[in-house]
Amino acid sequence: MQQYTEPISRLIKAFAGLPGIGEKTASRLALYVLNAKGGYADELSAAIGDLKEKVMLCRECISFADGETCGICNDPARDASMVCVVSDYKDLIALEAAGSYRGRYHVLHGQLAPLKGVGPDEIKVVELVERVRAGGIEEIVIATAFDADGETTALYLKKVFAGSDVRLTRIAAGIPMGGHIEFMDGSTLGRALQGRQEA
């Protein structure tokens, strides 16, 4: 049986390494790249090749950046006294897309997961402690997920900064916009009640 010729099957194998891309889709993508016009293959190859070289971690907030510091840390209009802690770069992008936050960030690049062996040394906590020690930060907004690992991480941060002058807050848990009370699960309703505010 004749297989795809070597350079094609090599690319199929590489594409099939991507999450959610099976053998069949990988073949389709590889043949698309082969037949694509206008330097598309060169651009895709260069974009991937440059990625690891050009993407750095921001010295301040450990977010991905294309220089020593990221666009947010460089922006004098952003409130440097407020730091929102997220576990992942994707969370930062989502919060930025929401558009209402005007402070800075700190990306942990992970969440504590004792059962998976992810301890404090595996996430960027030391960097946050050092930032706080350097001064200028008045509030840390914890925006880790509301699942077991996210809550564990939030609790851990609370413990780390207990006794410091920094105000520690957690973004609110509750019913999402457009959510109907009758369809919400019990723990969400419990958190929403617990977090009730003056109307």
User: Could you tell me the smallest distance in angstroms from the CB atom of residue 131 to its own copies?
Assistant: 19
User: Could you tell me the smallest distance in angstroms from the CB atom of residue 170 to its own copies?
Assistant: 22
Q: Which is nearer to its own copies, 49 or 114 (CB)?
A: 49
Q: Which is nearer to its own copies, 55 or 172 (CB)?
A: 55
Q: Which is nearer to its own copies, 61 or 112 (CB)?
A: 61
User: Could you tell me the smallest distance in angstroms from the CB atom of residue 137 to its own copies?
Assistant: 19
AA letter at 2? Q
- Which parts of this chain interact with its own copies (CB under 8 A)? 1-8, 10-11, 13-15, 17-21, 25, 27-34, 36, 40-55, 64-66, 70-72, 89-90, 92-93, 96-97, 99
User: Could you tell me the smallest distance in angstroms from the CB atom of residue 5 to its own copies?
Assistant: 5
